[in-house]
Amino acid sequence: MFSFLPKEVREGLETARARDLVRRSRLRIVADGKSYPVIRMRREGFSLPEGAPHLRGLVDLYDGARLVAQCLVIASAEESGQMRYEYKRRTDVSDRPALDFAQRENAPVALIPRAPDGFGL
C-alpha cells in the first residue's frame, strides 16, 4: 500500500501506528504489580506491545479500572513488533455471587406480600 514511499517514511508510519494502538487501548494486563496495555484481543489470547516480558502464569485483565477476567497465560510468539500470549485458562469475573441451584427462566423477580385484612382482597 505504501510501497511508493521511502523506507524511512514507511518505518516512521509503522512506529506511529503501533504507538497509537497502545495509547488508544483501554484494556490492560496486570502481572507482578506491573501494568501492560493490550494491543489486540483474540478468542484464544491477546497481544502486548514490543518490549513486554515473556509472561507465564496468572495475570489480571482490566478494562479501564474494572476487573474483567483472571487468566492463566503463556507467551506464544513474537510477530511484527507485538508479543502474543495464549490462554491456558480464562475465568471471567462476575459482579454477583455464583448460584448453587438452577434458576428457572420464568421465575418471579420479586414476591408480592399479602394485603392485610380489611382491604377487600
Go through the domains of the chain in sequence order and give each one's CATH number. Answer: 7-92 (2.40.10.430)
Q: What is the pLDDT of residues 64-79, one digit of tens each?
A: 888 999 999 999 888 8
Residue/partner pairs of 39-43 with CB below 8 Å, 24 or more apart: 39/82, 40/82
Q: What is the pLDDT of residue 50?
A: 80
DSSP secondary structure string for all residues of 44-58: TEEEEETT----EEE
The number of residues making up the chain comes to 121
Average pLDDT over residues 75-86: 86
Task: Tell which wins on pLDDT, 51 or 18.
Answer: 51
Task: Tell which wins on pLDDT, 109 or 48.
Answer: 48
Question: Average per-residue pLDDT in the chain?
Answer: 81
Q: How much is the pTM?
A: 0.61
